[in-house]
Amino acid sequence: MRHSPLTSRLSGFGTSVFAEMTALATRHGAVNLGQGYPDFDGPAFVKRAAAAAVRAGHNQYAPMPGLPALQQAVADHQGRFYGLGHEPAEEVTVHAGATEALCAALAALLDPGDEAVVLEPFYDAYLPGIALAQATPRVVPLAGPDLRLDASALESAVTPKTRLLVLNSPLNPAGRVFSREELAAAAEVCVRHDLVAVTDEVYEHVVFEEAHVPLATLPGMRERTVTISSAGKTFGLTGWKVGWSVAPPPLAAAIRAVHQFVTFAVATPFQHAAAAALAAPDRYYARLRSDYRARRDRLCEGLAEIGFGVRPPEGTYFALADVRPLGHGDGEAFCRTLVERVGVAAIPVSAFTTDGRLRHLVRFAFCKDDATLEEALRRLRRLKG
């Protein structure tokens, strides 16, 4: 059987480290702090809205770009939280999760031979998406132990072939939320070199220190930014796979040209429910943040007490831990031992990089209920000997 050259290009990325770790966790009866999905259910009002939509007969295809009610709800959300005004019918596209939105945006906006800048560590979907577009990634490492955006490194990665910057904030796996200064530096590079920005903001509401700032709100960026998010993280319903992109009309039209033939239309009842979810009162969003802050603190304090080097994340539901103080050097080997011998699954940060610079770090997910986090910490205490 023949495979296309594209298939072999993608096979270089291997199988998903997340799925692999979940399978290992299941095999070893481990507590799974690897793959990032909640082990508690999403909010009742959102589940009721989905069930009501099914019962009301909203069960046929939605329009290709998205259910108008959800397009409107996304535009309202961007206005309510960020002061952005978007025309829902022209600028908001509903996708099968942020994953499809990212892939559609990269395929739509990159030509073969173009370059796209990606900050490292990066979420695992970006490089394969760039490969699918037959474009070339230019990887810029975040700088120092704080993993800060280094404006001059970003600037020097740009060549005449560069078309696009992928920016993820809050950043999975590093837990960074880029400051206004870091974003301003990225925006300046985009404007100066006429780049499009594709921003992955799926953790926009899981922030603990400063508020999340969308790159599209910075001067000169609204007209060149594709903002991507998803109901999966904000409403704890990762299996629903309802995401969206918000982009100026020419970029949205290009993205829809891909979306139309990859997904066509996203599940209708879940679009109704996502529209109801986004309209949640402020107290829902405040509670999400405070619940996750409590989980972050519980996990990070526990990890520090066991002896890991821990820097509490500014956002996302992931914490990075340095395994060197425990006498280990390699996160990959550590994660394998951990799942087999201690019964806890984590993800080595090397999976989010192209080099070995961060190989001493592992990622623990804390989108888990209190009992799960307690049990994980109880098992991890065995590492103290």
297 residue type, one letter: D
| Residue 121 interacts with ligand GLN (CB under 6 A): yes or no | no
Inter-residue contact 220 to 187 (CB < 8 Å)? yes
Partners of residue 200 on adjacent β-strands: 168, 228
Residue 122 CB, shortest distance to ligand PMP, in Å, is: 9
Residue 166 CB, nearest approach to ligand PMP (Å): 10
* Stretch of 23-31, 96-104, 298-306, 330-338 contacting ligand PMP, by CB under 6 A: 96-104
Buried b (16+ CB within 10 A) or exposed e, 204-227: bbbbbeeebbbbbbbeebbebbbb
- Please spell the DSSP secondary structure of 162-178, one letter per residue: EEEEEEESSPTTT----
Q: Is residue 36 near ligand GLN by the rule CB under 6 A?
A: yes
- Show the CA angle centred on residue 209, arms to residues 147 and 378, nearest 5°: 80
Question: What residues between 332 and 351 interact with ligand GLN by CB under 6 A?
Answer: none
What number of chain residues touch ligand PMP (CB under 6 A)? 14
Which member of 243, 307, 343, 348 binds ligand PMP (CB under 6 A)? Answer: 243
Q: Cβ closer to ligand GLN: 233 or 311?
A: 233
Q: How far is the CB of 162 from ligand GLN (least distance, A)?
A: 26
Q: Report if residue 285 touches ligand GLN, rule: CB under 6 A.
A: no
Query: Is residue 326 within a helix (H) or strand (E), and if so which, with residue range?
Result: none
State which residue, 172 or 350, has the beta carbon closest to ligand GLN.
172
Phi, psi values for residue 183, rounded to 5°: -65, -40
The kind and range of the H/E element at 365 are: strand 361-365
Q: How far is CA 244 from the centre of its chain?
A: 13
Q: Of these, 10, 18, 136, 357, which contacts ligand GLN (CB under 6 A)?
A: 18
Q: Does 172 bind ligand PMP (CB under 6 A)?
A: yes
Residue 16 interface partner, choices ligand GLN, ligand PMP, none, CB cut-off 5-8 Å depending on type: ligand GLN
Burial class of residue 375, CB neighbours in 10 A (0-12, 13-18, 19+): middle
Instruction: Output phi, psi for 225, to 5 deg.
Output: -120, 135
Closer residue to ligand PMP in complex, CB, 70/202: 202
The site partner of 230 among ligand GLN, ligand PMP, none (C-beta below 5 to 8 Å per kind) is ligand PMP
Residues in contact with ligand GLN by CB under 6 A are: 16, 18-19, 35-36, 172
